[in-house]
Each structure stands twice: as C-alpha cells, then as structure tokens.
Chain A
C-alpha cells in the first residue's frame, strides 16, 4: 500500500511573496526606474505641480517616441512632464538629463531619468519607451530654445516618432500644463544627418507655435509674466 509523504517545500516562493508585500521597494525596472517609489512620491509631486495634460491621442499606444518639451530655466519641465504623462498614460515615461553622479543622478534614475547621450536614448526608444527630452532652457516661459539634433538623430535612426510637448508652469503656483502635439513630419526625406538638423528645427518651430497658441501675458518682463501665470 503506497503511503503519501509530504515533502518539505522550498521556501523561495513563500519568501518572495512575503517580502514582496513587506518591503517598500522590491525591485526596479531594467533602466533603474522604481515604479513603487514613483507611486509613493506622487502625492509630493502633486503638491508642487497640478498638471493638466492635453493631446494624449498623439502618443503611440505601445511604440516608443521621443517627446521634446520646452524648458524655462530651473522649471524642471522634463520631470513634471514625464511624471504627468506617466500618470495619464499608465506607462513609464523616462526623461533625459540625469548627471552620472551620486546622489542626484542616482535619485533621478529612480524616477526614470536617462543620461543625455544619444546611444542611451536610442537604446530606450528601441525598446518602445516614451522618452522626454528638453529643448535648451530659456529665461522666458513661452520661448522654445534650440533642440539638440544629436538626440533627435537617435529617434530618427530608431524610426520612432518625434513629438513636441508644450509645457508651462509657474514659479509661484501649482498650475502647470503639458500639451502633446502631433508627431513631426519632415518636409523632405533625407538619408543622412541633415534629417536630424531639419527635424530639430521643425520641433522648435512647432513648440513655439504651440506655446503661442496656449496664450498668456507677454509684458516683455519675464518676472511679471511668471507672476501673471500663477
């Protein structure tokens, strides 16, 4: 007569399940972004920025895309744009511009920041990631600065869309806006690096047009404009 013997189970699965629920952050994704930490700190970011997002229909559902946003100096627009878009689309949105040093670079990596390196951006885009990069920072909130054509080149060689995202925030208030535009379509098909330059210029033009359409006070004095937007 056979006898049923219960063998001792390996505790791996049980340990994993228990620790998963107890530990604050169990793991990070393949780029070092910590989804759990992002979720926990989201209310803190909401204290600083109340971002209204528009134009989400322009974002690809699954494929990667390079999103180019304007930046007023020290406004941290890539951070709040990526955070707001991640919340709105429910997929991780990364942003370019972490320093390769601790502790700032290490902390930003947990939020999904990438190095400002075309190869790094190309790698992320190839894996279907949404990546936000900033145009060169300006002192005026409604001016779009020049766009780094080398990073645009990463998107072109990967074959993903380049999409302008107009962003506005206030120095004083919480109100902020991120408006996603339509993907840039170059006027001419180029085979070489000229495409990078032309698309970069087109993105800047589109961004400027979107910022103009968003309206606002233009006194010519940046501090007064900022206060007016609060």
Chain B
C-alpha cells in the first residue's frame, strides 16, 4: 500500500461499495490520502508482526502487490530478498485466515521469458520460462501463492503486468527512456508493450471483486519499439550492436539509470503478450495505449526549481 501502485489500488478500493474494511502493509507509508484504509508500516522481514496484523484483520481477499522490481526501488539482490520475504510472510499469514476467499498477486509478463523461438505474443496458456531475475521472482510469487491457495482451498489469481509506467512509479525502463541519450538495439529494435499504473490498478480492483482464479495478462493495446519510443520523446538515439551494451549498462548505472537484465532483455528481444483475456476474466481492459503511455512518460515535468522570491529592500 506504500508504493504508487499499492496506494492507487487502495484509493480505488476505498471507492468501491463492496469493500468493507481495508488494511494495508508496506515498508513505506501510502503516497495518497486514504480515508478508510488502515495502514501498518512493517518491514518485509518482520514476519511475526505481519502474521499478527493479517490474522487479526482476517481478510476475505488478499491483494499481494509487494513485488520489488529490480532497480526500481532496490538493487536486484535486495529486490529478490524483499519480494521473497514479503510473499512468504503475507501469503502465509493470509492462508491462516478462515475468512479468506481469494488471493490476487502481482506478476509480470517477464514470466514468459524471451529465449530463442519463444512466442511473439504469449498468452496465459504458455508455460513460464523466465529468462531474467525479475521473471524468476514473479514466477516464485505465483508458485508460492498457488501452493498456499491449493492447500487452503481458495482461488488464486495473478495479474501478469507489462512494465508499469506512471508519473510516480519507480521504473528502470521509464528512467532509462527519460535519459537525454538512450541506447537501443539497432539490429533488432524489437517491439514491447507497457501498461499505465491507473490501468493496472483498475485491473487489481476488478480481480479482487471477481475473485480471479487464473493468471491474466494486463497489457496496454499496441506496441512500440525502443527507437520509436525515444524518438517520440525527442531523445538522442544511441545505436548499439552488441558488445558495447556492457559498457553502456555500467555508464547508465553511474548516471542514475541502471539497466537490469529484464530491461536489457526488453531492449534486445522485445516484450509483448496477449492481453485479450483481461476483458473476459476481469471485465476491464487497459484503456491507454502503449504509445500514449510513452507520450505521457515524456510529458511528465522534470524537476522544477522554483527560485526564491527576492524581497525588495527599501
């Protein structure tokens, strides 16, 4: 509930008539004003407190969004550790609750992987073969939730999100694309898709309301290539062939926009997914197209420095 997506989901849930009480746990405080929700600031490693809070609340629906994308808010190792800890504690605690009916977890289309001969637009029936750290992380989240759900007999749904972009969402892809000069794979320049944070949040609310019990891809309509994206933002394209990517990654890290392996994979091999099931399974589908999300990414104002007002001295 402390991250941008969590806060957004919580604020949408507050407006839903079917939602009674709302309780959230995160390591950061909520980023929006929440009127109904009860918030607990707990570290993901503090399993005992998490279990106490969750079991005392005894939820009907658990929405698990505590997935740290590598280099979004934490480095890859920390992201993996926090995600594992949060998943084990929160899903484990929810499984102890007698009222629990449904678990909805955040996953990503990185779960399909981009190995050779992998499908251009995998749908939910395609087996997961993650080829990046983040893909493996979300696969584990799905596995843990699935195992818990099967054990206690509750529905488990997972929303496989395309890379989430939004005005305040920490995203390594968004950060990379907003650099003044952006590297892209000149030989491949593959297409990828994204999803806006508001669309992702609506999908979570719908999944919770419908007690989703299957994985569903949530991707914005349309696709874009790296070169097209950075040209839309009027960034300087840096064509890359292959070996120089290693140097570029290091340089980009130093400049404040680390490129984790799943973003590098996206720039080299693309990342698309078939999102047509969303309408049937959730009743909602992302409204903002990939090109529009990218345009909005570049339309966000940069840091605005307001000069101090100089008092006139008489």
**Residues in chain A within 8 A of chain B (CB atoms):** 10-12, 15-16, 19, 23-32, 100, 102-103, 106, 109, 114-115, 117, 119-120, 123, 126-127
Residues in chain B near residue A15, CB distance under 8 A: 295, 298-299
Q: Could you tell me if B232 and A23 are in contact, using CB atoms closer than 8 angstroms?
A: yes
CB–CB A28/B117 < 8 A: no
User: B83 at the A/B interface (Cβ < 8 Å)?
Assistant: no
What B residues does A12 contact at CB under 8 A?
Answer: 292, 295-296, 299
Instruction: Give residues of chain B (179-228) contacting chain A, Cβ–Cβ below 8 Å.
Output: 185, 187-191, 193, 221-225, 228
| Option from A28, A32, A103, A114 in Cβ contact (under 8 Å) with B187 | A103
Determine if A11 and B299 form an interchain contact, defined as CB atoms under 8 angstroms apart.
yes
Whether A30 contacts B223 by the Cβ 8 Å rule is yes
Chain B residues touching A, majority SS? loop
**Is the C-beta of B234 less than 8 angstroms from some C-beta in chain A?**
yes
Residue B119 lies at the interface, judged by CB distance under 8 Å to chain A: yes
Find out whether the CB atom of A27 lies under 8 angstroms from the CB atom of B298. Answer: no
With contacts A19-B234, A23-B232, A27-B224 taken as known, whether A119 is within 8 angstroms of B119 at the C-beta atoms is: yes
| Residues of chain B with a CB closer than 8 A to A123's CB | 119-123, 274
Flag if A27 contacts B228 (CB, 8 Å): yes
Question: With A23-B232, A30-B222, A106-B187 given, is the CB distance from A100 to B116 under 8 Å?
Answer: yes
Q: How far is the CB of B220 from chain A (nearest CB, A)?
A: 10
Question: Given A15-B298, A23-B231, A103-B188, does the pair A115, B223 have CB atoms closer than 8 Å?
Answer: no
B residues contacting the other copy or chain, number (CB 8 A): 37
Q: Which residue of A lies closest to B119 (CB)?
A: A120
Known: A27-B222, A100-B117. A16 touches B189 (CB 8 A): no
> Contacts A102-B187, A106-B187, A119-B126 known; A32 to B223 CB distance under 8 Å?
yes
Which residues of A lie under 8 Å from residue B289 when comparing CB positions?
A: 27
Residues of A contacting B: mostly: loop
Q: A12-B295, A25-B228 are in contact. List 5 more A-B contacts (CB 8 A).
A: A32-B190, A106-B190, A109-B190, A120-B120, A127-B276
Q: Does B157 belong to the interface (CB within 8 Å)?
A: no
How far is B223's CA from A16's CA once the two chains are assembled, in angstroms? Answer: 15
Please, how many angstroms separate the alpha-carbon atoms of A65 and B117 in the complex? 23
Task: Give A27's nearest chain B residue, CB to CB.
Answer: B291
Q: Closest 8 A-B residue pairs measured CB to CB? A: A12-B299, A102-B188, A102-B187, A16-B295, A32-B191, A27-B291, A103-B187, A106-B188
CB of A92 to closest CB in B, whole Å: 13
Listed in ascending order, the chain B residues whose CB lies under 8 Å from chain A are 116-123, 126, 185, 187-191, 193, 221-225, 228, 231-232, 234, 270, 272, 274, 276, 289-292, 295-296, 298-299
List the A side residues contacting B295 at CB < 8 Å.
Answer: 12, 15-16, 19
Q: Give B268's nearest chain A residue, CB to CB.
A: A102
Nearest chain B CB to A210 CB, angstrom units: 31
Alpha-carbon gap, A128 to B250, bound state (A): 44
Flag if A19 contacts B231 (CB, 8 Å): yes
Q: Nearest chain-A residue to B220 (Cβ)?
A: A30
**Interfacial chain B residues near A126, Cβ < 8 Å:** 276
Residues of A within 8 A of B190 (CB): 32, 106, 109
- Residues of B within 8 Å of A31, CB to CB, are 120-121, 223, 272
Chain A positions within 8 Å of B270 at CB level = 32
Chain A residues within an 8 Å CB radius of B122: 123
Whole-angstrom distance between the alpha carbons of A29 and B224 in the complex?
Answer: 8
Q: Are A28 and B224 in contact (CB under 8 A)?
A: yes
Picked from A10, A25, A32, A102, the residue with its CB within 8 Å of the CB of B185 is: A102
Give A36 Cβ to nearest chain B Cβ, in Å. Answer: 10
Q: How far is the CA of A26 from the CA of B190 in the complex (A)?
A: 14
A residues less than 8 Å from B191 (CB atoms): 28, 32, 109
The reply to whether B119 and A26 contact each other, CB–CB distance below 8 Å, is no
Q: How far is the CA of A79 from the CA of B217 in the complex (A)?
A: 31
Q: Are A114 and B120 in contact (CB under 8 A)?
A: yes
Partner of A26, one of B121, B185, B232: B232
Name 11 A/B residue pairs within 8 A (Cβ), A-sorted: A26-B291, A27-B224, A27-B290, A32-B225, A100-B116, A103-B188, A109-B120, A115-B119, A115-B120, A120-B121, A123-B119
Nearest-Cβ distance from residue B166 to partner chain A, whole angstroms: 13
Knowing A16-B292, A19-B232, say if A30 contacts B221 (CB, 8 Å).
yes
| Also in contact, A32 and B272, with CB within 8 A (given A16-B291, A117-B117, A123-B123) | yes
- CB-defined contacts of A100 to chain B, threshold 8 Å: 116-118
